Amino acid sequence: MARWPKPAEGSWTQHYPDLGTGPISFRDSTSPEFYAAEREAIFKRAWLNVARVEELPRVGSYLTKDIAAVGTSIIVVKGKDQTIRAFHNICRHRGNKLVWNDFPNEETKGVCRQFTCKYHGWRYDLDGALTFVQQESEFFDLDRDAYGLRPVHCDVWNGFVFVNFDDEPRQTLREFLGPMVTALDGYPFDKLTERYDWVADNNSNWKIFADAFQEYYHVPSLHPQQVPPAVRDPNAGFECAHFQIDGPHRLVSTAGTRRWLLAPEYMYPIERATRSGLVGPWRTPDLGELPAGLNPGGIEPWGISNFQIFPNLEILIYGGWYLLYRYWPTSHNTHRFEAYTAFHPARSVRERIEHEVAAVVLKEFALQDAGMLGGTQAALETGIVDEFPLNDQEILVRHLHRVVGDWVAEYQAERTPVGASRG
Ligand code: FES
Ligand SMILES: [Fe+2]
């Protein structure tokens, strides 16, 4: 019995006929060769979110970001003109990593007036210009203008800082994000600045973990504490109210289940005591009118909308607060998972506790998902089985692997010389 209407074609998947309905392969998540292709085809060509503008509040605020999939470290910095720029984190003199603190392989952040190389003291302005060369007269016709920091394309959408490693990105950031994602314009991300961050190194391909957060089919079996008795009934399942695909991006919305309506035995005691938990604080301040793009399916009562922004960003909005995940591949079968929850700044001790409890309980549930990963990856790597059926609730899993395959195939086709023999 469908509780939410499906598209006229009979299913969400058939509404997007290019996706097909057959079993899929996960070889794209076990193959070192495929990962090598993904790095070139996807991570060096798509727009990648690396920060929020609140992390760079002042002129000279900077952070470094090491992106293994691209094989580089970058500096992201706010310039004197308030523009946020990105540069490869490499000194133009003899290639030292320019910005780091105690350990060259760890990321760092801070505020400075200029960047000074630790090795021979060359200095660079906030806009990347080379401004000082030690003993300049010892060099041979050194043109300082030719030795600025190597820039990386950088742009900001709704306070999210993105970079792009392509020589010449084929789309602007806004074009890349497309109408479904930019319909979130006006959502008050800038008001939700109280953040709880965490990072985990996981033993799975990056897509395998993304998959765990883009379907809710697993909820009744993997997170049984989370769902009310009616849903725990194995015959009831869990059905999302709306799916949508736009280019390489996708979203899913659920209908609202308000935690405080659930039976108390399905909460941790601290959730009852603090009136906060897995779905966040039970009350959040009124953020004013929210953009229609937050709930494009018009679901009533609306629960959450989960935007999966290609390739490795997820923004999950609960109305008055949101959480963000990024999946950074570090090899074909490992990735670094970055996550944070973001709330309005607490106005009282009670609100602060509500936020902390929400962050901790959420992390507990994310660990249940993460706990599956090593097992999934190891079993997939046996290669014994390579055809996996996906149901209609898993349409977004199907779409991610399809888009990844398409980007890799397109990249490889562009590099096949015209007229090359295929015989
Ligand atoms: S390597 Fe940076 S100043 Fe020499
Ligand atoms: Fe989960």
Q: Which atom of ligand 1 is nearest to the CA of 91?
A: 2
Which ligand has the shortest distance to the CA of 220? 2
Q: Using the mean position of ligand 2's atoms as its centre, give its distance from the Cα of residue 39 in Å.
A: 27
Q: Given a cut of 70, is residue 258 above it in pLDDT?
A: no
Atom 3 in ligand 1: residue holding the nearest Cα: 120
**Span 214-229, pLDDT tens digits:** 999 998 888 877 666 6
Question: Do 16 and 59 fall within a single domain?
Answer: no
Confirm if 30 and 267 have CB atoms less than 8 A apart: no
Cα distance between residue 280 and residue 290, in whole Å: 18
Find the CATH number of the domain harbouring 199: 3.90.380.10
- Residues 190 and 65 occupy one common structural domain: no
Instruction: From 164, 191, 226, give the residue that closes a domain.
Output: 164
Pocket flag, ligand 1, residue 130 (CB < 6 Å): no
pLDDT digits (tens, 9 = 90+) for 49-73: 999 999 999 999 999 999 999 999 9
Shared-domain flag, residues 219 and 71: no
Confirm or reject: Cβ of 260 under 6 Å from ligand 1. Answer: no
Place of tokens 């007269």: 137
Identify which of 324, 417, 309, 313 has the alpha carbon closest to the alpha carbon of residue 362: 324
The SS3 call for residue 350 is helix
Same domain, 184 and 271: yes
- The Å distance, Cα 263 to ligand 2 centre, comes to 20
pLDDT category at 284 given cuts 50, 70, 90 is: confident
- pLDDT score recorded for residue 1: 41
Q: Is residue 209 part of a domain?
A: yes
Our measurement of the distance from residue 389's CA atom to the centroid of its chain's CA atoms, rounded to an integer in Å, reads 26
The answer to whether residue 333 sits within a structural domain is: yes
113 CB less than 6 Å from ligand 1? no
Q: Which residue among 87, 90, 91, 97 is best mutated to probe the pocket of ligand 1, counting the most ligand atoms within 8 A of its Cβ?
A: 91
Tell me whether residue 135 is in a domain: yes
5 falls within a domain: no
3-state SS of the chain: helix, strand, coil percent to 5? 30, 25, 45
**What's the mean pLDDT when you consider all of the chain?**
93
**pLDDT confidence of 232, banded at 50, 70, 90?**
low
Cis, bond preceding 104 (omega within 30 deg of 0): no
Residue 420 placed within a domain: no
Mutate to test the pocket of ligand 1, among 75, 96, 132, 149 (most ligand atoms within 8 A of CB): 96
Mean pLDDT across 301-310:
94
Which of 137, 164, 191 is a domain's end point?
A: 164
Same domain (yes/no): 307, 265: yes
Ligand 1 close to Cβ of residue 96 (< 6 A): yes
Based on the fold, state whether residues 71 and 218 are members of the same structural domain: no
C-alpha distances out from residue 249 to 41, 179, 240, 252, Å: 16, 10, 17, 11
Q: Identify whether residues 186 and 154 lie together within a single domain.
A: no
Mutate to test the pocket of ligand 1, among 75, 87, 88, 94 (most ligand atoms within 8 A of CB): 94
Same-domain pairing of 71 and 36: no
Q: What is the mean pLDDT of residues 117-133?
A: 98
Q: Is the model's pLDDT at 422 over the cut of 60?
A: no
Tens digit of each residue's pLDDT (9 = 90 or more) over 317-329: 998 999 999 999 9
Say if CB 341 and CB 194 are below 8 A apart: no
Q: Six-digit token pair at 345?
A: 């700044």
Instruction: Determine if ligand 1 sits within 6 Å of the CB of residue 117.
Output: yes
Q: How confident is the model at residue 283 (pLDDT cuts 50, 70, 90)?
A: confident
Give the residue-averaged pLDDT of 84-99.
98
Tokens of 343: 């709330």
Q: Which two tokens stand for residue 243?
A: 């799916």
Q: Which residues constitute the domain of residue 245?
A: 12-41+174-414
Question: Ligand 1 mean position to 147 CA, how many Å?
Answer: 12
50 C-beta neighbours (distance < 10 Å), count: 23
Structure tokens at 392: 């209609």
Q: Is residue 39 within 6 Å of ligand 1 at its C-beta?
A: no
DSSP structural state of residue 233: S
Token digits of residue 57: 């509040």
Q: How many helices (H) and strands (E) does the chain have?
A: 9, 17
Ligand 1 atom closest to the Cα of residue 98 is 2
* pLDDT given for residue 230 in this prediction: 57
What is the share, in percent, of the chain residues with pLDDT greater than 70? 94
| Shared domain check, 215 and 359 | yes
Number of independent structural domains in the chain: 2
Domain stop point among 164, 197, 232: 164
One domain for residues 263 and 229: yes
- Rounded to an integer, what distance in angstroms lies between the CA atom of residue 24 and that of residue 165? 30
CB atoms within 10 A of CB 225: 13
CATH of the domain at 70: 2.102.10.10
Tell me if 170 CB under 6 Å of ligand 1.
no
For residue 365, give the ligand nearest its CA.
Answer: 2
Summarize pLDDT for 352-411 with one digit per residue, the tens: 999 999 999 988 888 889 988 999 999 999 999 999 999 999 999 999 999 999 999 999
What confidence tens digit (pLDDT) does each residue in 101-113 have? 999 999 999 999 9
At 20, which amino acid appears?
G
Residue 31 CB–ligand 1 contact under 6 Å: no
Q: How confident is the model at residue 80 (pLDDT cuts 50, 70, 90)?
A: very high
Residue 421 covered by a domain: no
Residue 2 lies in a domain: no
| 3-state secondary structure (DSSP) of residue 189 | helix
- Are both 350 and 308 inside the same structural domain? yes
Position 365 scores a pLDDT of 85
Do 353 and 319 lie in one domain? The reply is yes
Q: Is there a contact between 281 and 343 (Cβ–Cβ < 8 Å)?
A: yes
Nearest CA to ligand 1 atom 1: 94
Note whether residue 115 is domain-resident: yes
Cis bond leading into 248, ω under 30°? Answer: no
